[in-house]
Amino acid sequence: MSPTDALQATLAGEHAAVYVLGVLGARSRTPGLTDRLRSAYDAHVTQRDALTERIRALGATPVGPAAAYAVPARLTREVDLRAAALQVERRCAALYLEQLPATTGEDRRMLATSLAASAVRELTLGGKPEDLPGTK
């Protein structure tokens, strides 16, 4: 896998994360959870935009988002919203970890930093600390 392919795969995951977290945030009625969801959403928007810029700088066309992503229709309870957001962060952490070997330099630093940030967001959503985030 080329470094550009790794960044494209990560960007595709970020598109999904932004979509799903946006839906979850819109459904939340609990101020504390809404704030955590908004913070996660903002972080993934920032990551998506950085990846888009980096891929363009490499001379490639960034992968676009899908028209929609699967989000359970009846997710409204705080516990379910938090669990869904936690799953998004776990998937992103696993994606960052999976793409790291194909990258070097600043690209690798960006993915490693994103992996760490995602692991921290997992904790704010009720996740348990892991020795190696992204491996579950």
Taking only the tens place, the pLDDT of each residue in 97-136 is 999 999 999 999 999 999 999 999 999 999 988 777 666 6
Residue positions counted in the chain: 136
**Looking at the domain that runs over 3-124, which CATH code has it been given?**
1.20.1260.10
Task: Name the average pLDDT for the chain.
Answer: 93
pTM here is 0.93
Calculate Rg over the CA atoms of the chain: 15
- Residues 83 and 91: their CA atoms lie apart, in Å, by 12
Please tell me the number of Cα atoms within 13 Å of 112 on its side-chain side: 9
Contact 7, 107 (CB under 8 A): yes
End-to-end alpha carbon distance in the chain: 22
Taking only the tens place, the pLDDT of each residue in 40-64 is 999 999 999 999 999 999 999 999 9
Indicate if the pLDDT at residue 28 is higher than 70. Answer: yes
* Sequence ranges of the domains in the chain: 3-124
- Residues 100 and 104: their CA atoms lie apart, in Å, by 8
Looking at residue 75, its pLDDT comes to 85
